[in-house]
Amino acid sequence: MRERSFVANYLNNPYSSVLSVSGNTKVITALSLDMKVPPHVKSGGWLTAEYSLLPGSTNVRSARERTKISGRTAEIQRLIGRSLRMAVDLEKIPGITMLIDCDVLEADGGTRTASVNGGMLAVALACRKLVEEGVVSENPLKNWIGAISGGVIDGEVVIDLDYEKDSRADTDFNFVFSENGNIIELQGTAERVPLDEDRFFELLKESRKCVKEIIEEMKSVAGF
């Protein structure tokens, strides 16, 4: 894996925030609270995420998505939101929506997995703060989750792909696991060469191992 770090409460204004760094990839995840829920939520609370590449985060300037987000952005937002909802018992935050903004400062591969990891830590910090402030009576955190990318390059399994490795990978995947190693999300594509079963399970095993390490690091930063 690339060198990784997390800075808790990186920003002052959000309810909680994290700077998530993986190699040269840097993402700020900022969690805000909204004391209402979407119309489709009939009980409990909700959690949703937004994702954005800042213009200077890539080699060629990324235009701001001012009026309509791209299909890629929508897909990433859904992945982040789905994954992080698995970390929270939404019934324990009735009438509350957790809004997680993931802004990519620098993109060098793995921005969605860095967003999930930073979001996870921000959620954990927010859940504890909700209890400390008496907003809820029980900590709504039910699961630690973590994410990592992986792929196969020239027949070899490689974990945590930067942009250069991702661009020449035969196959690339994004994995999201729970703390006990169960699969939450799995996205993958064979870009050049179909992936055989043995390589897939090797990739799965190594990714699960790395996510366990990431979760332990996040828990240490949060003081859990």
Query: What tens digit of pLDDT does each residue of 141-164 get?
Result: 999 999 999 999 998 999 999 999
Ranges assigned E (strand) in the chain: 4-8, 16-22, 25-34, 46-53, 97-106, 145-153, 156-159, 171-178, 183-190
Statement: residue 54 has pLDDT above 90: no
Residue 5: which pLDDT band, with cuts at 50, 70 and 90? very high
Average pLDDT over residues 202-208: 96
Among 127, 171, 174, residue whose Cα is nearest residue 146: 174
What was the pLDDT predicted at 87?
98
The rounded distance, in Å, linking the Cα atoms of 116 and 146 is: 7
The rounded distance, in Å, linking the Cα atoms of 58 and 54 is: 8
The rounded distance, in Å, linking the Cα atoms of 111 and 103 is: 9
Statement: residue 135 has pLDDT above 90: yes
Neighbours of 133 (CB within 10 A): 9
What was the pLDDT predicted at 72?
87
CB 29 within 8 A of CB 87: no
Neighbours of 13 (CB within 10 A): 7
Statement: residue 31 has pLDDT above 80: yes
| pLDDT mean across residues, the chain | 95
Neighbours of 167 (CB within 10 A): 11
Among 58, 68, 176, residue whose Cα is nearest residue 112: 176
The rounded distance, in Å, linking the Cα atoms of 133 and 120 is: 20
What was the pLDDT predicted at 104?
97
| Beta-bridge mates of residue 158 | 151
Q: What does the block give as tokens for 209?
A: 């191992």
| Beta-bridge mates of residue 18 | 8, 29
**Domain 4-222 CATH superfamily:** GHMP Kinase, N-terminal domain (3.30.230.70)
